[in-house]
Amino acid sequence: MLRVLYRIIWTFIYLLCSFVDFVKSMTVSLHKKYTNYYKTLRLEDELKLITQAVKHMDKTPSHIVFVIGNENISFRDLGNVIVWCIAAGVSFISFYDFEGELKKEEAHFRSIVSEVHKKYSGYIVWGNKYPANGVQNINGTKNGMDFLRKVKVKMFSLTDGKENIVKVTHELCKSVKENILNVSDINQDVIDRMIGVHSGVPDPDLAVLCGSLCCTYGLLPWQIRVTEFVQVHSHHNMSFEDFLCVLYKYNKCEQRFGK
Amino acid sequence: MSWLRENTLNWIQYVCLKVVKSGGVPNHVAFIMDGNRRFAKKNNVAKVEGHTKGFDKLAETLQWCLDLGIPEVTVYAFSIENFKRSTEEVNELMDLARDKFKRLLDEREKLMDHGVSVRVIGNLALLPEDLRQLMSEAMILTKDNNKAFLNIAFAYTSRDEITSAIKSLVAGVEKKIILPEDISKHVISQCLYTNKSPNPDLLIRTSGEIRLSDFLLWQTSSTCVYFSKVLWPEFSVWHMLTAVFHYQRNRQNIVRLKNFEESCSLESCSLENHQVDLFLEDLHSQRQMFMEKARQAKY
């Protein structure tokens, strides 16, 4: 009897919370539509503001990964993110969705970005064209935007996580068989280097989780040891203020590395 | 302070706990108990005092989990990275662990009554011999208990765990016990220290940090993560209930994610493989032997 009563109370609270969340998200999206409509800043101004803001931060991520959780992908919004990252001086930007939709649609994504942000496509290096350890920042001078640097963009899915660790194990088996390596030589550094070659990116400094669930979604398990996780409500209609807010949150994180 | 405590909740907390419990609870909750030293600093007491308070909080939290009906808990007690701290602090932490494991063995009757199985996960070879002995003793004593499971990550990092799994697999291939093509995600999972546990449904990290710090990286691919600002010694039943409710509200998404991941591994997972089973049996009995040896060590 009492149990039924508890369950009724629980259901009531559950529904109440869902209702409050619904109202909240409606207000946010209405507010976003309104502010987008009366948008006064041009993209160039936004980029300048981001560059200014980043100058006053103690640290900015060199590798950001955007994790698309339980929501549909909006390539247009992700395209904006790339351009903001260029302004923030980010060297690597990765996009992850566990089902592999982004990897499948990469060509489509590219065409949208080059159409909407024609001016900046020279600053974007897509896919596997760069070496794993080549964390070079090349200063661009086109369009008078000489404060901008190139960003490398890559897509990941669930299969790049644990599967890569399996692949590395297979390779190690081969090396041992061919007497290139002893089993006792296998250590974290060896594995780390091999994982780095497979993923082609350094460990992410910041993961931006888009959606209501805070979860790694199977993102590159070997490489997220010290990655900071910041959650945003959604990547749809994400504004550059939202983006700056994420960078500010990252700026506040202090790493102690176990000490 | 004891491991298993009497109920400390007042009636209103108790009712709320019952309400949350009625909504279905996670099967396995993991904790990163962070903030003991900041708590000590805030209250102007010695670091070790903060760690002691942290342990007391763990005992209290375990009781809440039992009350909620959560059968399995994994806690991050000591990371391999923590060996980098000052010798003084590391020694204090080892002393605290010795003390608590002795206590746990003193309370063996209570532990057996509750049917609690204690497992220490981590690279035990890095620990002082006497502590390893106490831990092995506790693990062997409680290994057949199956009402509740407490996994204590000590001298643990996820990368170290994965490395050790890979090493034993490569060694197995070298000795021709298994074939390289037998190695899959599923087999690696079976080689981890956590092979007996289901993956956690909920991970709670306290003290406002928003990273995983090398804890269960492999096992948390479909885990609901809850970051709480509170320092671990100040963690209350309200925080616990909020975290579980947070999990309940995200349950549908987690289930979807889990199903997707399982459907992926089914494709790549070969059917029953006798050789792999033999290899795993061998690996697990080696670990068992290591524990037996540690328990009987004289020093």
User: What pLDDT does residue B267 have?
Assistant: 60
B233 Cβ contact partners less than 8 Å away, ≥ 6 residues apart? B35, B36, B39, B50, B53, B54, B56, B57
CATH code assigned to B25-296: 3.40.1180.10
Residue B275 has pLDDT above 60, yes or no: yes
In a domain, A167, yes or no: no
User: What pLDDT does residue B271 have?
Assistant: 60
Write out pLDDT tens, residues B40-92.
999 999 999 999 999 999 999 999 999 999 999 999 999 999 999 999 999 99
Measured distance CA(A83)–CA(A73) in Å, rounded: 17
- CB contact under 8 Å between A10 and B222, yes or no, is no
Domain count, chain A: 1
In a domain, A172, yes or no: no
Measured distance CA(A169)–CA(B178) in Å, rounded: 13
Question: Residues B142-151: what's their mean pLDDT?
Answer: 95
Write out pLDDT tens, residues B198-214.
999 999 999 999 999 99
Please report, for chain B, the start and end positions of each structural domain, with discontinuous segments joined by +.
25-296
User: What pLDDT does residue A138 have?
Assistant: 41
Residues of A in contact with B170 (CB under 8 A): 169, 172-173, 176, 183, 186
Q: What is the dihedral of CA A19, A22, A27, A31, to 10 degrees?
A: 170
Residue A65 and residue A208 in contact, taking contact as beta carbons nearer than 8 Å:
yes
User: What pLDDT does residue A205 have?
Assistant: 96
A123-127, A145-149, B134-138, B276-280: which has the highest mean pLDDT? B134-138
DSSP annotation of A56: T
B284 Cβ contact partners less than 8 Å away, ≥ 6 residues apart? B195
Residues of A in contact with B226 (CB under 8 A): 214
Interface test with A, best of B76, B85, B166 (most A CBs within 10 A): B166
In a domain, A56, yes or no: yes
Measured distance CA(B93)–CA(B135) in Å, rounded: 15
Q: What is the dihedral of CA A115, A119, A122, A127, to 10 degrees?
A: -30
Residues of B in contact with A257 (CB under 8 A): 81, 84
Domain, as residue range, for A88: 36-158+201-252
What does residue A65 show for φ and ψ, rounded to 5 degrees? -120, 130
Closest-CA distance of chain B to residue A144, Å: 38
Identity (one letter) of the amino acid at B253?
N
Residue A203 and residue A257 in contact, taking contact as beta carbons nearer than 8 Å:
no
Q: Which two tokens stand for residue A146?
A: 């000489």
Question: Residues B147-153: what's their mean pLDDT?
Answer: 96
User: What pLDDT does residue A246 have?
Assistant: 95
Q: Which CATH number characterizes residue A113's domain?
A: 3.40.1180
In a domain, A247, yes or no: yes
pLDDT range class, residue B219, cuts 50, 70, 90: very high
Measured distance CA(A229)–CA(A154) in Å, rounded: 19
State how far the alpha carbon of A184 is from the alpha carbons of A190, B167, B286, in Å: 11, 8, 17
Q: Give every residue of chain A whose pLDDT is below 70, as ranges.
A: 37-39, 128-147
Residues of B in contact with A225 (CB under 8 A): 157-159, 211-214, 217
Beta-strand pair B72-79/B224-227: unpaired
Taking alpha carbons only, the member of A219, A63, A225, A96 closest to residue B223 is A219
As a whole number, the mean pLDDT across chain B is 93
- CB contact under 8 Å between A170 and B183, yes or no, is yes
Taking alpha carbons only, the member of A144, A95, A142, A102 closest to residue A123 is A142
Measured distance CA(B264)–CA(B261) in Å, rounded: 5
**How many A/B residue pairs have CB atoms within 8 Å?**
175
User: What pLDDT does residue A41 have?
Assistant: 77
B87 Cβ contact partners less than 8 Å away, ≥ 6 residues apart? none
Secondary structure (DSSP) of A58-112: S---SEEEEEE-SS---HHHHHHHHHHHHHHT-SEEEEE-TT-HHHHTHHHHHHH
Residue at token pair 């096992």: B219
Measured distance CA(B279)–CA(B169) in Å, rounded: 9
User: What pLDDT does residue A258 have?
Assistant: 73
Measured distance CA(B151)–CA(B168) in Å, rounded: 22
Measured distance CA(A32)–CA(A74) in Å, rounded: 16
- Residue A10 sits at the chain B interface (C-beta within 8 Å): yes
Residue B142 has pLDDT above 70, yes or no: yes
- Out of B167, B185, B260, the one facing A99 most closely (by C-beta) is B260
- Which range, of A128-142, A177-191, B12-26, B248-262, averages the lowest pLDDT? A128-142
Apex B18 CA angle, B17 and B20, nearest 5: 65
Measured distance CA(B221)–CA(A98) in Å, rounded: 10
Residue at token pair 């090398």: B214
User: What pLDDT does residue B274 have?
Assistant: 84
